Amino acid sequence: MAEGQSEEAWNHTATVLAMLANCHRDPKRSRAFRPRDFHPHERRRGGGVPITSKNLALLKRAFVKGRKP
């Protein structure tokens, strides 16, 4: 419940920050800001490292017991 309340408060704050940043940006030099650019909960989602067979082998070596690094 606390995280939901925090996210709702950040929805409002991120929207205001995006609007303020867009008022002061040079349209010829940068893209328009979106609330997602300022929202800490949205940044946490997505973005990560894609899992491939090479990455998986590295993780197994590092974390699976009985295997030598």
pLDDT digit string, tens, across residues 1-41: 777 888 889 899 999 999 999 999 998 998 999 998 888 87
In a domain, 29, yes or no: yes
Q: Is residue 21 part of a domain?
A: yes
Higher pLDDT, 66 or 54: 54
* Domain presence at residue 11: yes
Q: What is the pLDDT, as a whole number, of residue 19? A: 96
pLDDT at residue 17, as a whole number? 94
Residue 68 domain flag: no
39 sits in the region (left: phi over 0; alpha: psi -120 to 50; else beta) called beta
- The pLDDT assigned to 7 comes to 84
pTM of the shown model? 0.56
Residue 13 lies inside a defined structural domain of this protein? yes
pLDDT of residue 62: 81
How many domains does one find in the chain?
Answer: 1
Q: Residue 46 has what pLDDT?
A: 57
Residue 35's nearest CA partner among 20, 57, 46, 56 is 20
Domain of residue 52: give its range. Answer: 2-63
